[in-house]
Amino acid sequence: MKSKLIFISTVLISLLFVQFIFAWESKIVHYENGKLVYVADAEENRIPNFSHAGYKGGSVPIPYVPVVKTISPIEGDNTMHIQNALFEVSFMAKNLDGFRGALLLTAGTYEIRGTIKFGIDGVVLRGVGDGDDPAVNTILWATGNSPNQRTVLIAGGGASTKWRDEVSDTRTNIVSDSVLVGLYTFDVEDASKFMVGDNIIIYHPCTAEWLAAVDSGGTYWYLPGAEPGVDLPWAVDSQPILFNRNITDIHGNTITIDVPVFNHLIRSLSQSYIYKYARNGLRTQIGIEDLRIDIETAGGADEAHAWTAIDLFQIEDAWVRNCTMLHFGHSGVRTNTATRITVENCRALDPVSEITGERRYNFNVYTASQQVLFKDCHASNGRHHYVSNGSSWTSGCVFLNCSSQGAYTSSEGHRRWSTGLLWDNVVELDGPRPGYNPRLLGLYNRGHYGTSHGWTVAHSVAWNCDVAQGDLIVQKPPTGQNYAIGCHGKNVTGTTPPAPFEAPEGYIEGTNETGIEPRSLYEAQLEERLSTQVALEHPETQSANRPVSFQLYQNYPNPFNSTTNLKFEVHEKGHYTISVYNINGEKIQVLLSENLQPGIRQIRWQAGHFSSGIYFIKMGNEKQTQLKRILLIN
């Protein structure tokens, strides 16, 4: 009997061991001694740090701003009704955090026949919910088509300046021979014009030498299918690379910036320079929350209606959260001349338009969009659900834990050398559509598609994404690299076909393998950066007297259907609990409550009988707790 128990125990331990060790790490991004290590290739390409995306660079949570004025819907057009209320709030004083207050729109339907221009620093426009019942939600109902294909709500200064406005006599050349992707420091000719805290623009001119290095954009203008006189090689000065940054340190003529560069700056190819950004017309600290924007259409391929739900133009440190946008023709949310933006828990659904170019870009980082974070969002029935249409002015944007349904074609870098984009745990819930191209995620060369789109992205990553039975295309641009790590799909490849144009395959690793660690690249990078920041600012917290007794990792998959895996690491023995809470903070299930020895473990949550929505996993012992947010889609 004793030997039988020993045998059974050995089998159980072996099974548990197999379950606990199937997690794997990338060869080029992995942990060593508790820190992320990035391995460069022979061309010095490496995966950069994306963790600076989002409101305030991801370093602080989105604040709750108290209500200072409340209005309710009126009969007829509510455009000026809301506009006047925003104008009234604009005269209120800012608090110490830079906010004037929130304008609350009570439940009901607000007909909008024009465009609401929301260009006030420190103001939040808040509804009471984004559902379809006007009795308990706030619905902006955009009617008519005057002016033609208008935007319903424009937040920010409203202009597409691309950060051109510079403080006079501040331009100085970067004299480092090379500033490699991922670096934060460089040398300049004269740093005396700058101070720590200055907002600067790094400008990499589009020279003949750089164009030669990138094969003139790789437009394949000479192949059949290209339009003569339209599809051409990129021209000198057409695609400058810009980075919007803040100076964090100056030593002599060496400048350190807050966010890394997302493209190599090679002096022999292009003489880059910096200048102080004048910030003319820029608006900051703006929020849009808890409302629904529905656009009146005739359905089908109708295009005579409001075209974009929310434009974030000439704006910085702002957010859109808990909003639903429906029946737009172009975009649910579009950013332009926008930096450090978070779009969280939003839905861009069911666009109405022809199914062709420059339409149905549900979540769209457009020209001069940087450090924009789309988190926990859902898109349906568009063409390019999570897309950069912003070309070489756009970089450092992240699509995190987002889902897609009914896509006609791929989320992707769309045109002309956007850099440093991350699709992180983006999941296709179905697809591909019968009769349509099965490409559902693209980091690739579009050749002469569009208007000489060519190389769409460089130094960009698909991490732990799932394109269902579709194709994920990843190709290597000249002077750069693109990556697909831990992704799932029918084809994860850079070869032609299914890629539309011939190009070297990008870096592909771990296709259709489960259990990649870290599960989320952005979240791991953010956690490490903030932990390092805390350690530098409060070294006493790193004392040996303050050990970390356990680590709860993000679940995978996430979002998930029915079942998800929860991995955790115990550093010291003790009693631990793991529980599930709903969005109201109510405990709904205890998954673990027992004494544990040090080691790595994994459990599963079988959630098939729970309704779709956001839940929280809480792990704790007598010393500390950790919390992870998860999304169930049944």
User: In terms of Cα–Cα distance, which of 498, 499, 494 is closest to 446?
Assistant: 499
**Given this model, what pLDDT does residue 13 score?**
39
Q: Is the peptide bond before 432 cis (omega within 30 degrees of 0)?
A: yes
Average pLDDT over residues 409-413: 97
Query: What confidence score (pLDDT) does residue 159 get?
Result: 95
pLDDT of residue 385: 97
* Partners of residue 200 on adjacent β-strands: 245, 276
End-to-end CA distance of the chain: 45
What is the reported pLDDT for 537?
Answer: 53
CATH class of segment(s) 55-161+282-408: mainly beta
pLDDT confidence tier of residue 632, bands split at 50, 70 and 90: confident
What letter represents residue 121's amino acid? D
CA dihedral for 610, 490, 448, 236, sign (positive or negative)? positive
Q: Residue 544: what pLDDT?
A: 38
- Mean pLDDT along residues 216-228: 94
* Structural tokens at position 261: 């560069």
Average pLDDT over residues 260-275: 98
Residue 298, pLDDT above cutoff 70: yes
Bridge partners (DSSP) listed for residue 188: 174
Instruction: Please report, rounded to a whole number, the percentage of residues in the chain having pLDDT higher than 90.
Output: 81
CA angle 112, 113, 116 (to 5 degrees): 60
Whole-Å CA distances, 105 to 73, 80, 243: 8, 14, 37
Mean pLDDT of the 147-159 span: 97
Which CATH number is correct for 551-634, 2.60.40.1930, 2.102.10.10, 1.10.287.610, 2.40.30.10?
2.60.40.1930
pLDDT score, position 534 = 58
Q: Where are the beta strands (DSSP E) in 585-624?
A: 587-596, 599-606, 613-620
Each domain of the chain, given as residue ranges in start order, spans: 55-161+282-408, 551-634
Predicted confidence band of residue 600 (pLDDT cuts 50, 70, 90): confident
- Classify 95 as helix, strand or coil: coil
Q: What is the rounded average pLDDT for all residues in the chain?
A: 92
Tell me the percentage of the chain whose pLDDT exceeds 70: 94
Model's pTM, two decimal places? 0.83
Q: How far apart are CA 307 and CA 58, in angstroms?
A: 30
